[in-house]
Structure 1
Amino acid sequence: MKLLLCLTFVAAAQAAIVPAVDASGHFHPTIPNDTQPEGKNHTINGVLTYVSLPKGEFDPTTAVLFLTDVFGLPNLDNLLLADQWAAAGFQTYAPDYLNGDALPPDGNVTAWAVNHGEAQTTPPLLAVIKALKDQGIKQLAATGYCFGGLYITRLVQNNTITVGTMAHPSNLNVPTDFQLMKEVSHIPIEINNAQLDTGFTPALAEETDTVMGDGQYKPGYFRRQFDGVGHGFAVTANASDPVAVAAKQGAFDTSLAWIKAHLK
């Protein structure tokens, strides 16, 4: 845990190259979704956590850690996406590492971020990870979206998880974070990015490739770009837009295949 915090402060000292995208930069459905989440909220090591379990048999020693975007557990789409991971056969845990203070759909992410730095959000995340490992989880796959992408990066840098994926990450330092990853990590990582993202732009994605691609990152690296969609596409899609719907499903399918390929 100390190593994770140490790397956090080192990274924080660098200029933030990938900006957080404000709430207005995300797609927010205007038609209510009547689908009910299938998981339940539990308190794990003092941290509220949404837990979604497969309906059939599953490996009790393997789990998916789901790190939400800034809208956190109040966002139904995050819960339904966690359920999708459970439906794929993994016990899935989405900790409230936002400490009960998710960004409202009309919130200002710049003001909100003041109280949601790594110093505030890392401790609850580590508390849940410790509890999961204490209860017998031996393989922990982690997937993070937007805000969660930074924490996937930290967990990979610290070799805390078994395999990681992220979609349209924010708050990363490119290329510094990936140079550090290449130097110290042995965890495979996959990234889904959006052509129209104003945060992790295609240019930054390509800069990441210059560090990680072409076999440079020995543990395994893959990036897939989805055209015609913007930031947040892997979490929420406009149901009337077939491109957006296909991109969201494609990001999930790509992440799922990556995780399955790197679990024992």
Structure 2
Amino acid sequence: MSLCEDCIKGVRHEGSPEGKWVSINGVETYVGTPTGNYQKNKVLLFLSDAFGPRFVNSQLLVDDFARNGIKTVAPDFFENDGAPPELLESPKRQTFDLPAWLARHSPSATRSLVDKVIAELKEQGVTEFSAVGYCYGGRLVFNFAFENVTTVSIASHPSLLKSPDDLEKYFSTSHAPLLLNTCTVDDQFPQSSQTQADAIFGEGKFAPGYKREYFDGCTHGFAVKGDMSNPKIKAGKEGAFKASVEWLYKYGFGPSDSK
């Protein structure tokens, strides 16, 4: 498994985070809580890219999901060792040992920390989890769906997947409706993999539900750290978020379903 340069490339977005950091079963977690009515028994797991939830872009996305009536938690499964935002500057990227970083933070290691958060939230009364993942986090979305820990899945430009193997495993083992937000230039989930996904899940073959959005002119990472000064990338980032919220609403995570 490996990541690509686009995984640590992008633009820092502007805004002031509104969520709170809390410790959930010993795991520092950024939490976005809706201000209005929302379903207290349902939580969206926000599974970040390599920069982790301490990156302002991720926090702003968590806030946006909460603003749309969805309680969202983003565990810091890198334990404050996410890729540093300074890597967004090209010279810094050239000296960062990405393979060594990934060896410290394998999907199995990070998964165990999210499991701790899930266990504690269940103790607090949460009965259903959905998951949205970006880049690295997309791998975790698939891992949770394989075991049906989550009931709704969204993966934006997922990394570390083996295609078609992981797609076929998802089809055969998961009951979670799957939304893929994809783009034109993506070494991690290229158009060949996107085509394979459509062939496996599309045309109603995957009974729980499947949809793939495609954002032309966008590059891997666009949904979380794309250059918002580029009209196509801005449209892609906003389109992927809109599609994600609509997918969550469609499958029972909207505020209108509040208990």
| TM-score of the superposed pair, with normalisation by structure 2 | 0.89
SS at match of 1:114: helix
The CA deviation string for residues 61-86 of structure 1, in whole angstroms up to 9 with x for no partner, is 12211000000023100000010000
8 Å Cα contact 2:8-2:50 kept in structure 1: no
The CA deviation string for residues 193-231 of structure 1, in whole angstroms up to 9 with x for no partner, is 111112211111111222222222111111111010101
Equivalenced residues, count: 244
By how many angstroms is 1:21 displaced?
Answer: 2.1
8 Å Cα contact 2:183-2:216 kept in structure 1: yes
SS at match of 2:222: coil
Which letter maps to 1:239?
A: M
Does 2:154 match 1:165? yes
User: How far, CA to CA, are the matches of 2:97 and 2:54 in structure 1?
Assistant: 16
Match of 2:3 in 1: 20
Which letter maps to 2:35?
A: K
| Compared CA separation, residues 203 and 25, structure 1 to 2 (3 A) | farther
Which letter maps to 1:55?
A: T
| TM-score of the superposed pair, with normalisation by structure 1 | 0.88
SS at match of 1:93: strand
By how many angstroms is 1:23 displaced?
Answer: 5.5
Match of 2:53 in 1: 73
CA RMSD, Structure 1 to Structure 2 (Å):
1.6
By how many angstroms is 1:103 displaced?
Answer: 1.2
8 Å Cα contact 1:72-1:102 kept in structure 2: yes
Does 2:184 match 1:195? yes
Where in structure 2 are there 5+ consecutive unaligned residues? 88-92
Q: Compare 202-211 and 42-51 and name the one that shifted more.
A: 202-211
8 Å Cα contact 1:25-1:231 kept in structure 2: no
Does 2:128 match 1:139? yes
User: How far, CA to CA, are the matches of 1:118 and 1:27 in structure 2?
Assistant: 22
The CA deviation string for residues 37-80 of structure 1, in whole angstroms up to 9 with x for no partner, is 00011000110000111122221112211000000023100000
Match of 1:217 in 2: 206
Does 2:121 match 1:115? no
Match of 1:151 in 2: 140
User: How far, CA to CA, are the matches of 1:83 and 1:25 in structure 2?
Assistant: 22
8 Å Cα contact 2:8-2:51 kept in structure 1: no
By how many angstroms is 1:100 displaced?
Answer: 2.1
8 Å Cα contact 1:99-1:121 kept in structure 2: no
User: How far, CA to CA, are the matches of 1:133 and 1:52 in structure 2?
Assistant: 17
Which letter maps to 1:260?
A: Y
Match of 2:77 in 1: 97
Does 2:221 match 1:238? no
User: How far, CA to CA, are the matches of 1:232 and 1:89 in structure 2?
Assistant: 25
What is the aligned-residue identity percentage? 35
By how many angstroms is 1:258 displaced?
Answer: 0.9
8 Å Cα contact 1:174-1:204 kept in structure 2: yes
SS at match of 2:116: helix
Q: Which of 26, 31, 39 pairs up with 1:51?
A: 31
